[in-house]
């Protein structure tokens, strides 16, 4: 008997009267809320409007759920369409079985539809929601714990996962908690994307590509530890090949995008305020325009004194002439001149 281990729940569903409350579904729902909440904060920080992320998520989330289920059913079709199986079970999403590759692919299609309706580019939206998706995956993986599924090889480490169910070919025992490994990895991926985005100001889809590449690295070694049935190609699990292929594509996108479109988008949503760097440039441009206007008023368009300069000259010339345009008396002129000198003296002393 193991002295330390992670116990599995005795059941993954509770009933509130006739209504089933499934742990797997709760984990997915909580993950979606976290992704939308964080994505909204990041979207606003990039210059977008509040609520836009949620509006587009209305398209992305259903598409993602359908895509995730389709990928799982297609790659594990024998669980639903082989002899003795009921094909209706393919629609029972609450029993587990969502492939992240299909969820991201079809979810991106839904997000593209939502972005197109709002006049927003998909890469800028993907950058905003990337770390939130990673955190959503970290939370969603705990749904596998409720269902006692997706565990690794048998082990005796202190954090081993105890499997008590014998349904669907399970063998009770102690196994590597690969769901926990992937959950922790996804947390790290989300933090990595946030840090890199702040440090390098990633834009044009590169933050999302970084999330994809980093996730694939973790999924590869975690997938290698799993013992559930899977298709193999050249002795390697199908999901490992998928992770390798997607990783290469993500890295290529980062490199090519950085060369073709460096920096970050100035405006991510039509009619929204520009990001900090661009707003500062706008302020500087406004100051330059104001300076040019003042110069035109002072010098005129043809190099001659403008209206402002002419008015100033008239004000300065006024003391030198009387009310009728004649020159003042000599005594008054000398007194005026003496007064100007006396007033200029203290001013010059203070300035020095």
DSSP string, 35-82: HHHHHHHHHHHTT--TTHHHHHHHHHHHHHHHHHHHHHHHHTTHHHHS
How many whole angstroms separate alpha carbon 312 and alpha carbon 212?
A: 67
Give residue-wise pLDDT tens across range 209-238.
999 999 999 999 999 999 888 889 999 999
How many whole angstroms separate alpha carbon 264 and alpha carbon 253?
A: 15
Q: Coil, helix or strand for 325?
A: coil
How confident is the model at residue 231, as a pLDDT?
A: 87
CB within 8 Å of 38: residues ≥ 6 apart: 129, 131, 132, 135
In the predicted structure, residue 7 carries a pLDDT above the cut 50:
yes
In the predicted structure, residue 294 carries a pLDDT above the cut 70:
no
DSSP state of 174: E
Other C-beta atoms lying within 10 Å of the C-beta of residue 41: 14
Q: Coil, helix or strand for 210?
A: helix
How many whole angstroms separate alpha carbon 51 and alpha carbon 43?
A: 9
Residue with tokens 């609520």: 51
Residues in the chain, total? 352
Percent over 70 (pLDDT), the chain = 76
How confident is the model at residue 4, as a pLDDT?
A: 81
How many whole angstroms separate alpha carbon 70 and alpha carbon 77?
A: 10
Residue with tokens 């007194």: 335
The tokens describing 110, both together, are: 């839904």
How confident is the model at residue 62, as a pLDDT?
A: 96
0.85 exceeded by pTM: no
DSSP state of 152: B
Q: What residues form DSSP beta bridges with 19?
A: 16
Other C-beta atoms lying within 10 Å of the C-beta of residue 282: 11
On whether the CB atoms of residues 234 and 200 are closer than 8 A, the answer is: no
Closest CA to 35 of 199, 208, 263: 208
How confident is the model at residue 172, as a pLDDT?
A: 94
How many whole angstroms separate alpha carbon 122 and alpha carbon 217?
A: 24
How confident is the model at residue 273, as a pLDDT?
A: 66
Q: Which of 65-74, 206-215, 274-283 has the highest mean pLDDT?
A: 206-215
The tokens describing 309, both together, are: 């300069």
How confident is the model at residue 267, as a pLDDT?
A: 93
């Amino acid at each position: 008997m193991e002295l330390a281990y992670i116990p599995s729940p005795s059941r993954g569903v509770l009933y509130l009267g006739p209504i089933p409350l499934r742990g797997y579904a709760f984990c997915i729902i909580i993950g979606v809320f976290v992704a939308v909440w964080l994505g909204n904060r990041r979207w606003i920080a990039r210059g977008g409007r509040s609520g836009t992320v949620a509006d587009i998520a209305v398209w992305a989330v259903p598409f993602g759920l359908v895509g995730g289920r389709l990928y799982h059913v297609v790659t594990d079709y024998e669980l639903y369409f082989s002899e003795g199986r009921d094909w209706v079970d393919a629609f029972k999403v609450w029993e587990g079985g969502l492939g992240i590759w299909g969820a991201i692919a079809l979810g991106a299609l839904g997000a593209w539809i939502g972005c197109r309706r709002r006049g927003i580019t998909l890469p800028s939206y993907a950058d905003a929601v990337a770390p939130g998706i990673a955190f959503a995956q970290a939370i969603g993986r705990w749904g596998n714990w409720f269902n006692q599924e997706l565990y690794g090889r048998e082990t005796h480490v202190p954090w081993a996962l105890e499997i008590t169910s014998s349904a669907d070919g399970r063998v009770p025992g102690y196994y590597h908690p690969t769901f926990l490994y992937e959950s922790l990895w996804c947390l790290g991926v989300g933090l990595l994307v946030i840090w890199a985005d702040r440090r390098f100001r990633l834009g044009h889809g590169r933050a999302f590509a970084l999330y994809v590449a980093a996730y694939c690295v973790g999924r590869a070694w975690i997938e290698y530890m799993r013992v559930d049935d899977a298709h193999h190609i050249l002795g390697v699990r199908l999901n490992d090949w998928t992770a390798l292929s997607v990783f290469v594509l993500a890295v290529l996108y980062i490199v090519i995008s950085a060369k073709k479109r460096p920096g970050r988008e100035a405006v991510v949503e039509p009619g929204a305020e520009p990001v900090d760097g661009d707003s500062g440039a706008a302020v500087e441009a406004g100051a330059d325009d104001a300076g040019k206007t003042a110069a035109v008023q002072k010098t005129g368009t043809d190099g001659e004194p403008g209206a402002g300069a002419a008015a100033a000259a008239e004000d300065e010339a006024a003391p030198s002439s009387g009310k009728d345009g004649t020159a003042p008396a000599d005594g008054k002129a000398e007194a005026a001149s003496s007064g100007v000198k006396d007033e200029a003296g203290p001013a010059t002393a203070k300035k020095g």
